[in-house]
Amino acid sequence: MSSVPASSAGISLSRFLIEAQRDQGHIDAQLRLLIEVVARACKRISIAVGRGALGDVLGTAGTENVQGETQKKLDVISNEILLEANEWGGHLAGLASEEMDHPHPIPNRYPKGEYLLVFDPLDGSSNIDVNISVGTIFSVLRCPPGANPDEADFLQPGTRQVAAGYAVYGSSTVLVLTLGQGVYQFTLDREQGSFVLTGTRLTIPEDTGEFAINMSNLRHWEAPMRRYIEELLAGTTGPRGRDFNMRWVASMVADVHRILTRGGIFIYPRDMKDPTKPGKLRLMYEANPMAFIVEQAGGAATTGRQRILDVVPETLHQRVPVFLGSKNEVERATELHRMADAAGA
């Protein structure tokens, strides 16, 4: 990560966004307001997460989302916080979320804006009750002109994102943001209640000695995926000629944040545990925003076969395999999949 230049040290997110709008012309007023509102909502989620057992936020909500996953109380609370914060400000035409079956157009009683917001309100849900980092992931698209948005209006490839970001609620709360001009990190100053710029133009090293994957699924993987991991596990005695270390938080936000901080490759591959699902992670609000951030930081992001940002979505809750992080490792894993496909053709 580049250290923050003296002239930028201590700059708040609000000032950063005003400068991005006024001085650099990277964003318009609606997009600035949108990011401000999302950041405020993340602050509220951070407070809810931080109350832990002192608040009524742990455990399950007793409901399921559209994907048949049991919702935790914090999944539902975080979704409501983001929805309520964003509905009335006039910067959005519609929202969509992991926790809502269908998109939510802005009600007619409120002014409408030009943007669409797609989010995973609480990522890493299985970690909530055990006090391990969780987060929020979001992606911003433009709404097609004149549309009262329905699902088809949201189904745009990741290359059309105008902004993306995530918050990690960990030992500190950080917000990582791209407006398509590099990646910036803000840390929540809990006393002041504002996000402060703590990292500019974050970059992911091209090479790494660290991988993140749920190894318990190994027997369900495709052959090229097994081959890739076997090469890494063989260490100094294998074809790669060096040792690799493994980390797996099981919160995508935390695993990706580590990679943005010190490099690595994060993988959630296709597996045959449930052959009807082409992966676990969702394209629109997990893979796409993270792929945008990772590419903006000089890394790579693929499905093992193609660039994630080029995938044309077919449904809102579509799943994809994800390989992202340090460029040379993502390229090696992708090359093995392409070679296997070509040999099988």
Helix (H, G, I), strand (E, B) or coil at 338: helix
36 vs 123, beta carbon nearer Mg ion: 123
Stretch that binds Mg ion, among 41-49, 90-98, 216-224, 319-327 (CB under 5 A): 90-98
Residue 329: contacted member of ligand FBP, Mg ion, none (CB under 5 to 8 Å, by partner type): none
Stretch that binds ligand FBP, among 6-14, 55-63, 117-125, 299-307 (CB under 6 A): 117-125
Residue 46: contacted member of Mg ion, ligand FBP, none (CB under 5 to 8 Å, by partner type): none
Among 103, 105, 113, 124, the residue binding ligand FBP under the rule CB under 6 A is 124
Q: Which single residue is written with the structure tokens 């076997």?
A: 230
326 is annotated as contributing to ligand binding: no
Provide the token pair at 313: 């979505």
Binding to ligand FBP (CB under 6 A) within 201-260 occurs at: 214, 250-252
d(CA 249, CA 147): 40
In this structure, are residues 112 and 93 in contact, taking their beta carbons and an 8 Å threshold? yes
Minimal distance, residue 214 CB to ligand FBP, in Å: 4
138 vs 186, beta carbon nearer Mg ion: 138
- If one asks whether residue 123 binds Mg ion (CB under 5 A), the answer comes out as yes
In the shown chain, the binding pattern of residues 64 to 103 toward ligand FBP, with x for contact by CB under 6 A and - for none, equals ----------------------------------x-----
112 is annotated as contributing to ligand binding: no
2 is annotated as contributing to ligand binding: no
Determine whether 100 is exposed, middle or buried from the number of CB atoms within 10 Å of its CB (0-12, 13-18, 19+). middle
Residue 271: contacted member of ligand FBP, Mg ion, none (CB under 5 to 8 Å, by partner type): none
150 is annotated as contributing to ligand binding: no
In this structure, are residues 128 and 58 in contact, taking their beta carbons and an 8 Å threshold? yes
Among 21, 125, 139, 334, the residue binding ligand FBP under the rule CB under 6 A is 125
Cα 63 to Cα 69, 70, 99, 241, 280, distances in angstroms: 8, 6, 10, 49, 20
Q: How many CB atoms lie within 10 A of CB 17?
A: 22
Give me the torsion for CA of 246, 129, 194, 261, rounded to 10°.
Answer: 0
In this structure, are residues 11 and 197 in contact, taking their beta carbons and an 8 Å threshold? yes
Strands 322-325, 265-268: pairing is: antiparallel
The DSSP string of 101-140 is SS-EEPPTTS---SEEEEEEEEE-GGGGGGT--EEEEEEE
In this structure, are residues 167 and 46 in contact, taking their beta carbons and an 8 Å threshold? yes
214 is annotated as contributing to ligand binding: yes
Minimal distance, residue 329 CB to ligand FBP, in Å: 17
- If one asks whether residue 61 binds ligand FBP (CB under 6 A), the answer comes out as no
CA angle 5, 191, 139 (to 5 degrees): 65
Residue 170: contacted member of ligand FBP, Mg ion, none (CB under 5 to 8 Å, by partner type): none
- If one asks whether residue 120 binds Mg ion (CB under 5 A), the answer comes out as yes
Determine whether 206 is exposed, middle or buried from the number of CB atoms within 10 Å of its CB (0-12, 13-18, 19+). middle
In the shown chain, the binding pattern of residues 126 to 155 toward ligand FBP, with x for contact by CB under 6 A and - for none, equals x-----------------------------
- Residues forming contacts to ligand FBP in the complex (CB under 6 A) are 98, 120, 123-126, 214, 250-252, 268, 280
- Residues forming contacts to Mg ion in the complex (CB under 5 A) are 98, 120, 122-123
- Known binding-site residues for substrate equal 123-126, 214, 280
